[in-house]
Amino acid sequence: QVQLVESGGGSVQAGGSLRLSCVSSGYTPSGYCVGWFRRAPGKEREGVAFIFPGGSSTYYADSVKGRFTISQDNAKNTLYLQMNSLKPDDTAMYYCATQNPSVWFGSRCPPTWARYEHYYWGQGTQVTVSS
């Protein structure tokens, strides 16, 4: 059974940093598209940062480029999101997600057509940034 467990969220002031972690079990994510989504109250879910299968490349949303860094430690089955220069707009629930192996993503990570059911999800960790 696949399990994803996030940690590292919290409350910080604007300009501060946090590092989120996501440990996976029952699944080896290194060969699949993995990443982080976030959802703020009243807003749509947003893909924040992703690592392509095999770690060959990364994708970042424009809103976090230059401030967030995604990485993974395959030996520990752990995905990280280093978040620097945090802004109040970064306040959201952050979710770790990995590609469902039964779904072919092709060359995109994440593909624009992918829906909720095409991923495995963690329970989320709250990030709150105060001004």
Structure tokens at 61: 């949303």
Question: Looking at residues 86-98, what average pLDDT do you find?
Answer: 97
- Residue 19 CA to residue 81 CA, distance in Å, equals 6
Flag whether pLDDT at 1 surpasses 90. Answer: no
Calculate the average pLDDT of the chain.
94
Closest CA to 93 of 48, 58, 63: 48
102: number of CA atoms within 13 Å, CB side?
A: 4
**So what's the pLDDT on residue 28?**
72
**So what's the pLDDT on residue 69?**
98
**So what's the pLDDT on residue 7?**
97
8-60 pLDDT tens trace: 999 999 999 999 999 999 877 678 999 999 999 999 999 999 999 888 899 99
Q: Provide the percentage of residues in the chain whose pLDDT is more than 70.
A: 99
Question: Looking at residues 77-89, what average pLDDT do you find?
Answer: 97
